[in-house]
């Protein structure tokens, strides 16, 4: 979420948790409608999910569609919050396609997680995204270009990767 710290300073702890719960429950509902998407975890103000963990050759079109639906929910929620004069969350969503390692590590408080360069690049796609948008890598765009209107953004510097081509997804 954009400006999470500043927004959290304006809300009571209870109201903050209520808002996060509202948004993350909506995201859970969206994700649950696609049998190839798995919610991995929430990390503070971030929501991490993945597709293709079971069927390794899946095309990420459901993941991109879910991301667009999440942004649509947040836009509707923002409009309600603005009418009430209350703060609202805006999100940046980044998606990349590639291999990951998934599993559980440690021996206390088990938590399923995913790791790898693909996860890091997805995080960089999010960092380079405008609020309210879905930013995808060239690898993802190549797989979903016939399903979505993707707008080339050009090449951007990505930490530890050099320049990478990025695309905004506009619609199905």
121-162 pLDDT, tens digit each: 999 999 999 999 999 999 999 999 999 999 999 999 999 999
Q: CA-CA distance, 136 to 169, in Å (whole number)?
A: 7
* Distant-in-sequence, close-in-space partners of 163: CB < 8 Å, separation ≥ 6: 155, 156, 157
Does residue 74 carry a pLDDT above 70?
Answer: yes
For the cut 90, the answer to whether the pLDDT of residue 93 exceeds it is: yes
Instruction: Report how far apart, in Å, the C-alpha atoms of 92 and of each of 8, 67, 70, 129 are.
Output: 17, 10, 10, 6
pLDDT for the residue numbered 58: 78
pLDDT digit string, tens, across residues 104-117: 999 898 899 999 99
Residues in the chain: 172
Which of 4-8, 29-33, 56-60, 85-89 bottoms out in mean pLDDT, i.e. has the lowest? Answer: 56-60
pLDDT of res. 54: 82
* pLDDT exceeds 70 at position 172: no
Q: Which residue has the higher pLDDT, 171 or 139?
A: 139
Query: How high is the mean pLDDT of the chain?
Result: 95
Looking at residue 111, what DSSP letter applies? -
Compute the half-sphere exposure of residue 2: CA atoms within 13 Å on the CB side of its CA: 18
| 2-43 residue pLDDT tens | 999 999 999 999 999 999 999 999 999 999 999 999 999 999
Token pair belonging to 99:
């291999």
* Rounded to 5°, angle at Cα 24 from 36 and 108: 80
Question: Catalytic amino acids?
Answer: 124, 159
Distance CA(6)–CA(100), nearest Å, equals 33
**Calpha distance 167→28 (Å, rounded):** 25
């Amino acid at each position: 979420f954009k400006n999470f710290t500043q927004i959290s300073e304006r809300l009571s702890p209870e109201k903050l948790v209520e808002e996060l719960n509202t948004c993350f429950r909506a995201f859970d509902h969206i994700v649950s409608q696609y049998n190839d998407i798995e919610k991995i975890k929430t990390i503070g103000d971030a929501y991490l999910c993945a597709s293709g963990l079971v069927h390794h050759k899946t095309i990420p079109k459901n993941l991109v569609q879910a991301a667009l639906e999440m942004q649509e929910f947040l836009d509707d929620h923002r409009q309600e919050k603005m009418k009430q004069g209350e703060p609202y969350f805006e999100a940046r969503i980044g998606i990349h396609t590639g291999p990951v390692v998934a599993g559980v590590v440690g021996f206390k408080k088990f938590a399923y997680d995913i790791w790898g360069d693909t996860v890091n690049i997805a995080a960089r796609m999010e960092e380079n995204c405008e609020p309210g948008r879905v930013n995808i890598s060239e690898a993802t765009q190549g797989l979903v270009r016939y399903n979505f209107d993707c707008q080339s953004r050009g090449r951007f510097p990505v930490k530890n990767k050099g320049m990478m081509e990025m695309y905004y997804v506009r619609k199905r």
